[in-house]
Structure 1
Amino acid sequence: MKIRKIIGLLALAIVIISCNNEHSNKKDYSKYTAKPDYVLNPDAQFKTYFKAYDASLKLWGTPYEELYIPTSVGTAHVIVSGPKNGEPLVLLHGMNATSTMWYPNAKAFSLDYRVYAIDFILEPGKSLNTKTFDNVDEIAPWYYEIFDALELEKFSLMGASKGGWLSVKIALYNQDRIQKIVLLSPAQTFIWIRPSMDLLKNIITMFSSDDTKTTQTLKTMSSNVDNINKIYLEQFYQSHTKDSISKFIMAMQPFSKRDLQSLKMPVLVLIGDDDAINNSKTIKMANEILPYGQGQIIKNAGHFLSIDQADAVNQKTLNFLNIKNNK
């Protein structure tokens, strides 16, 4: 009888501990859900843009909530989806693309992971800056303000283009909290952007109309522009009428071999075979310099490979994240 009683008490203790752990994983973000005034009552120039943004967000494909987190330089907008007890996956978008660019990927990632997509505060989106950064080294600490508010102790990072460069910058700032990194055609991270006819055309059209400029950008960055959802395209066009060439763009230089070799977490690098930003040298460096790196090329994809070949990117990303130890 005593043995049965002890076993019963042990079982009860296990249930209580399990419930406590489950409860602790379900973070309460209710204090960040109220929409700020700049979203509720936007200026005329932003009203149309926010409408386009919200239309794109409906493409997310899975339930989500929007958070507005106060930071030292303004309000950070974060889209959150996926199971509350799922492992955290932070998404950082490309330049002026906003978090809605992840619409072909969010549903797949959100099946098992708790997804956090953050709008960069100095670019179009729903984040709003009231101050700016004095130098590029202040950007990583700003992201950690958000991570702290979200109570993310350990998480994986996924960044596209400029978001890839920022992902490495964030990891170098504090490696202990980053479990894994996925880089989609990271800009200026391994190599300098090489000159090309497409990039020359982009420079030439900088002084053209917004429509001409944006159309040329899309042709350069995507291998199949017709594959991009028209609703997102509308928002993308509007983003480019409000685009921001960050004052820190010139500070985005390839990381040193020493910095790359210091990364102690598994890193997956994916580029398109028709990538205007990277080439096979990026993959070679990812495989040879990163201690736990692996680089792969996605066929029939340009710089916007998360849209051009969403299924392939989703599958390779999830396979990488799901492996318990990539080292």
Structure 2
Amino acid sequence: MHFDVHGRTEADARTIILSSGLGGSGGYWAPQIEALSAEYRILTYDHRGTGRSGGEVPEAAGITAMADDVLEIADRLKLERFDFMGHALGGLIGLDIALRRSDLIERLVLVNAWSKADPHSGRCFDVRIALLEHAGVSAFVKAQPLFLYPAVWMSENAERMDADERHGVATFQGKTNILRRIAALRAFDIDERLSEIEIPTLVVGTRDDLLVPYTRSLRLAERLPNGELALTDFGGHAVNVVQPDSFNDTVLRFLRATPKTYEQ
């Protein structure tokens, strides 16, 4: 497992682990690094089967196997407690750890995540799988931003979209790995166990998320005993990339003081 450490270097510094979504790259969190660095030792990592970690996603065990990879890193660094922020699939990893090792997580941040996949998300994944199976890697990668970003943001960042597409094709994690990762997130279902997670949790959702209806975030916030909701109108699925300043401010306020509700 490849991981990078940013920010504070003291052994006793407060640590936050950042876990990305389906793409699996630790680089996804670049817009958050500077904002968190003054107060945190920040751990980013490439999920197994992606980026510099390489390897193959296990055929079975799903999200739990991915959470075990995080626990392996935490053990290697001798972390007794840490905060955890996960985007989409990364949020599911955080929820899995929270259920099995609640003693490890101080604060939990879930970004456009879910306790059970919405049928609409399933339709989106069906489309993406069909593109991969019948049109190939290039078409799959080209379509990816449509599920991540608002249309106007993509229009205003056309050069970045082209660069990201080239990078996505060059570093594609492989058909087998992507299909197993999609299968894992579709199978994830802890809907009836949310009341067991008492960790203070910030649930970040966006009303214009094309991939994950914001009602999934509402459900998390309502059912988690110490869940707090930060709901915004604009930002799409990758709101931490589209609206980094407001996103970072919201997350830092929560991590510092865990206030009840944020309206962005």
Distance 1:295 1:324 in 2: 11
Among candidates 82, 87, 91, match of residue 7 of structure 2: 82
1:233 Cα offset (Å): 5.0
TM-score (norm 2): 0.82
2:165 is the alignment partner of 1:238: no
Per-residue Cα deviation, 1:74-120 (whole angstroms, up to 9, x for no partner): xx111101112331000111112401111111111112111000111
Higher-Rg structure is 1
User: What SS does the corresponding residue of 1:269 show, helix, strand or coil?
Assistant: strand
Establish whether residue 129 from structure 1 lines up as the match of residue 55 from structure 2.
yes
Q: Deviations over 1:162-213 (max 9, x none)?
A: 1111111122120011001111111x53442416986665455332253332
User: Are the structure 2 counterparts of residues 171 and 198 from structure 1 closer, same or farther at C-alpha, using a change threshold of 3 Å?
Assistant: closer
Amino acid at match of 2:44: A
Cα gap change, 1:209 to 1:257, in 2 (>3 Å): closer
Q: 2:131 aligns with which of 198, 205, 217?
A: 205
Deviation of the 1:242 alpha carbon: 3.8
After TM superposition, the structure 1 = structure 2 runs for residues 179-190 of structure 1, keeping only pairs within 5 Å, are: 179-186=106-113, 188-190=114-116
Which blocks of at least 5 consecutive residues in structure 2 are unaligned?
Answer: none
Measured against aligned partners, the alpha-carbon deviations of 1:113-167 in whole angstroms (never above 9, x if no partner) come to 1100011112x21113389465233333332121011111100101111111111
Q: By how many angstroms is 1:304 displaced?
A: 1.2
- Distance, in Å, in 2 between the alignment partners of 1:284 and 1:131 is 30
**1:301-312 → structure 2 map (5 Å cutoff):** 301-312=235-246
CA contact (8 A) 1:221 1:303 kept: yes
Deviation at 1:325, TM superposition (A): 7.8
In the alignment, the residues of structure 2 paired with residue 148 and residue 325 of structure 1 have an alpha-carbon distance, to the nearest angstrom, of 30
Tell me the residue number matched to 2:103: 176
Shift in CA distance, 209/258, structure 1 to aligned 2, threshold 3 Å: closer
Q: How many positions carry a matched residue from both structures?
A: 250
Flag the 1:101–1:213 CA change in 2: closer, same or farther, 3 A.
same
Q: CA deviation at 1:270?
A: 1.0
User: Retained in 2: the 8 A contact 1:104–1:306?
Assistant: yes
Deviation sequence 1:250-297 (CA, Å, 0-9, x none): 343353344211111111111222112322322321232100001222
**Alpha carbons 1:185, 1:277 under 8 Å: kept:** no
What secondary structure sits across from 2:231 in the alignment?
strand
In the alignment, structure 1 residue 214 sits paired with structure 2 residue 141: yes
1:80–1:114 contact (8 Å) kept in structure 2:
yes
In 1, Cα distance between the equivalents of 2:141 and 2:184? 24
Aligned with residue 151 of structure 1, among 78, 92, 95: 78
CA distance in 1, matches of 2:47, 2:96: 14
- Matched with 1:16 is none
What CA distance in whole angstroms lies between the structure 2 residues aligned with 1:266 and 1:246?
Answer: 32
Structure 1: where are the runs of 5+ without partners?
1-75
Aligned partners of 1:182 and 1:315: how far apart in 2? 13
SS in structure 1 at match of 2:249 = helix
Whole-angstrom CA distance in 2 between matches of 1:273 and 1:291: 23
Is 1:288 aligned to residue 203 of structure 2?
no
Task: Give the aligned residue type for 1:128.
Answer: G
Q: Match for residue 247 of structure 1?
A: 180
Aligned sequence identity (%): 22
1:42-95 Cα deviation digits (max 9, x unpaired): xxxxxxxxxxxxxxxxxxxxxxxxxxxxxxxxxx11110111233100011111
Residue among 246, 265, 280 paired with 2:199: 265
**TM superposition score normalised by structure 1:** 0.68
Distance (whole Å) between structure 1 residues aligned to residue 57 and residue 235 of structure 2: 37
Q: Which moved more, 1:235-244 or 1:91-100?
A: 235-244
Match of 2:118 in 1: 192
**Residues 67 and 93 in structure 2, CA contact (< 8 A), matched pair in contact too:** yes
Higher relative contact order (CA 8 A, sep 6+): 2
Give, in whole Å, the separation in 2 of the partners of 1:300 and 1:320: 20
SS at match of 1:94: coil
Q: Relative to structure 1, is the Cα distance of residues 89 and 233 closer, same or farther in structure 2, using a 3 angstrom cutoff?
A: farther
- Answering whether residue 69 of structure 2 is matched by residue 142 of structure 1, we say yes
